[in-house]
């Protein structure tokens, strides 16, 4: 709907839509014409409003024309709008809107001022070496952080608004010469097609970006750190920022990327390779140790060395639960403690850890409810899972599945479940990118940054697993041509 020339009609229209008490309607005179200014009280910088808008208005004496008025204001962020819906959107986003009698366009001034959190190190990805800054909830701040990392005209931000009530600004970020255009278009269309009441966090968006809803595996990557995001964008991924969320999403996603820690790239190649090996091994231990232990106890005693078998026999003497129930029970206690300690206030969380971990565990073993090896295996599995924190939720569900299968079917059941999971992983594709690359399909060049972390000088090409353009990332010489 277009704005009317008649000021009173416009005022009535705005008042009918903006009934909230925090919206201010300010009547004024601009030269010889009447006008009104609309803004939301607490999100507009009043000092700037006075200096850049109200003072020039008070001093203005001449005839009112659109061009003259537009030139009058000193605000760097000013636009002319003639659609009523766009005017409403601007006001709600934190702009001040000036509507003048006799004009069919309104003037919007970007004077938003939101309270924002200081930039700190994100709790989910702390590092010993490397940058410590993390994204915050403010989209402009996050964009400025990315601009500081990649000072290139190729760094492109494209904005979309999602959410019928929240009108959340979402920004797609990519490197023009590297990211696949078809992917960017697909993502834009997906974002535009989201019809949801509100987007309160980026995780809302990630659910809509998944191409397969029933998979247990993540399909969209995420990070809270600008350095990691810059590296991912440089590999050809597209990032998605959501206003109000400190977590940026990245597409396409490879399972391997959660095994790659930022510190791998800041430390020596040798230590990074060892660290990665430990991470892979830890995940295997976390997933399969409880299951294989139960299967061995129940069905395959021959798998356990004799001396260890004697230790187990001594420790399970008098335990009322069967091995699978015992492991399941202990694992559930661990999951409950984990869930409680995440949600509890920090100072109570410490107490819960001590009571749960030490007192409860020790007492349960002494009371003969669970055996010491079971407790140790669950504890080890729990710790190992946190070496890849991004996949902790997926793997803890899988661990339970493997445990149930182990109790019911033994080792062959575990092998069959691994095979099932493996078939799912190798055939799974999101945005034309195989989730299990570069292992399957095997991409030789990308293996330099998989199990083994190659020297930086070896990583001359962007990952072939992703459909990126401009493959070479290290030029051969100063004038070296990119392929």
Footprint on this chain of other proteins (rule: CB under 8 A): 299-306, 308, 405, 409-413, 415-420, 422-424, 426-427, 434, 436, 439-442
Which of 222/430 has CB closer to other proteins? Answer: 430
Which of 299/461 has CB closer to other proteins? Answer: 299
Question: Could you give phi then psi for residue 430, rounded to 5 degrees?
Answer: -130, 125
243 contacts: CB under 8 Å, gap ≥ 6: 137, 138, 139, 168, 169, 170, 171
Question: Could you give phi then psi for residue 40, rounded to 5 degrees?
Answer: -90, 125
* In the complex, minimum distance from the CB of residue 309 to other proteins, in angstroms, rounded to a whole number: 8
Task: Let me know the angle formed at the C-alpha of 413 by 412 and 414, rounded to the nearest 5 degrees.
Answer: 90
Q: What is the dihedral of CA 470, 474, 478, 482, to 10 degrees?
A: -20
Spacing of C-alpha 426 from chain mean position: 24
Q: What is the dihedral of CA 41, 47, 52, 56, to 10 degrees?
A: 90
C-beta separation of 352 from 338 below 8 A: no
Which of 224/449 has CB closer to other proteins? Answer: 449
User: What does the block give as tokens for 165?
Assistant: 């009530």
Which of 101/297 has CB closer to other proteins? Answer: 297
Residue 120 neighbours by CB distance under 10 Å: 11
Which of 136/291 has CB closer to other proteins? Answer: 291
Question: Could you give phi then psi for residue 44, rounded to 5 degrees?
Answer: -110, 135
* In the complex, minimum distance from the CB of residue 444 to other proteins, in angstroms, rounded to a whole number: 9
Which of 269/296 has CB closer to other proteins? Answer: 296
C-beta separation of 253 from 161 below 8 A: no
Q: In DSSP terms, which residues pair with 159 in a beta bridge?
A: 171
Spacing of C-alpha 127 from chain mean position: 18
Which of 253/265 has CB closer to other proteins? Answer: 253
Which of 129/300 has CB closer to other proteins? Answer: 300
User: What does the block give as tokens for 403?
Assistant: 């445990």
Q: Distance between CA atoms of 469 and 148, rounded to whole angstroms?
A: 23
Which of 223/296 has CB closer to other proteins? Answer: 296
Which of 51/300 has CB closer to other proteins? Answer: 300
* In the complex, minimum distance from the CB of residue 467 to other proteins, in angstroms, rounded to a whole number: 14
* In the complex, minimum distance from the CB of residue 283 to other proteins, in angstroms, rounded to a whole number: 16
User: What does the block give as tokens for 190?
Assistant: 């997906």
Which of 174/259 has CB closer to other proteins? Answer: 259
DSSP 119: P
* In the complex, minimum distance from the CB of residue 300 to other proteins, in angstroms, rounded to a whole number: 6
- Dihedral sign, Cα of residue 133, residue 134, residue 136, residue 138: positive
CA separation (Å) from 218 to 207, 256, 257, 258, 425? 10, 11, 11, 10, 11
Of 160, 302, 145, 298, residue with least CA distance to 229:
145
Q: Distance between CA atoms of 285 and 103, rounded to whole angstroms?
A: 71
Q: Distance between CA atoms of 224 and 105, rounded to whole angstroms?
A: 40
């Amino acid at each position: 709907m277009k704005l009317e020339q008649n000021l009173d009609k416009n005022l009535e229209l705005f008042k009918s839509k903006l009934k909230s008490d925090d919206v201010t309607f300010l009547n004024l005179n601009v030269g010889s014409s009447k006008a009104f200014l609309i803004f939301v009280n607490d999100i507009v910088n009043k000092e700037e409003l006075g200096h850049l808008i109200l003072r020039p208005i008070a001093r203005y004496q001449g005839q009112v024309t659109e061009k003259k008025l537009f030139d009058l204001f000193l605000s760097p962020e000013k636009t002319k709008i003639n659609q009523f819906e766009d005017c409403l959107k601007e006001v709600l986003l934190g702009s001040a809107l000036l509507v003048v009698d006799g004009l069919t366009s309104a003037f919007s001034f970007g004077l938003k001022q939101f309270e924002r959190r200081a930039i700190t190190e994100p709790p989910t990805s702390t590092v010993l070496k490397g940058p410590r800054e993390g994204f915050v909830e403010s989209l402009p701040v996050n964009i400025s952080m990315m601009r500081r990392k990649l000072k290139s005209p190729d760094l492109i931000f494209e904005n979309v608004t999602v959410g019928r009530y929240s009108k959340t600004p979402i920004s797609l970020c990519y490197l023009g010469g590297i990211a696949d255009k078809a992917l960017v278009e697909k993502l834009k269309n997906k974002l535009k097609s989201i019809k949801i009441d509100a987007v309160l966090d980026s995780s809302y968006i990630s659910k809509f970006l998944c191409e397969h809803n029933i998979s247990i595996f993540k399909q969209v990557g995420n990070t809270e750190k600008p350095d990691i995001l810059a590296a991912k964008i440089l590999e050809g991924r597209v990032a998605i920022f959501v206003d109000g969320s400190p977590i940026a999403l990245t597409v396409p996603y490879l399972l391997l990327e959660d095994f790659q820690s930022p510190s791998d790239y800041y430390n020596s190649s040798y230590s990074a390779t060892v660290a990665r090996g430990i991470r892979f091994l830890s995940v295997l231990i976390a997933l399969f140790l409880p299951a294989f232990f139960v299967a061995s106890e129940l069905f395959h005693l021959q798998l356990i060395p004799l001396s260890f078998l004697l230790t187990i026999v001594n420790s399970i003497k008098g335990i009322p639960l069967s091995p699978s129930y015992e492991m399941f029970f202990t694992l559930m206690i661990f999951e409950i403690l984990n869930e409680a300690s995440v949600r509890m206030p920090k100072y109570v969380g410490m107490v819960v850890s001590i009571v749960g971990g030490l007192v409860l565990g020790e007492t349960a073993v002494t009371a003969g409810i669970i055996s010491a090896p079971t407790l140790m295996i669950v504890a080890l599995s729990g710790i190992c899972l946190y070496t890849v924190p991004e996949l902790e939720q997926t793997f803890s569900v899988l661990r339970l599945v493997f445990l149930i299968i182990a109790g019911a079917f033994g080792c062959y059941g575990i092998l069959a479940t691994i095979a099932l999971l493996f078939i799912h992983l190798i055939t799974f594709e999101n945005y034309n990118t195989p989730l299990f690359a570069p292992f399957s399909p095997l991409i030789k060049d990308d293996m330099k940054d998989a199990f083994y972390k190659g020297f930086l000088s070896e990583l001359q090409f962007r990952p072939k697993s992703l459909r990126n353009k401009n493959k070479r990332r290290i030029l051969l010489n100063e004038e070296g041509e990119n392929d």
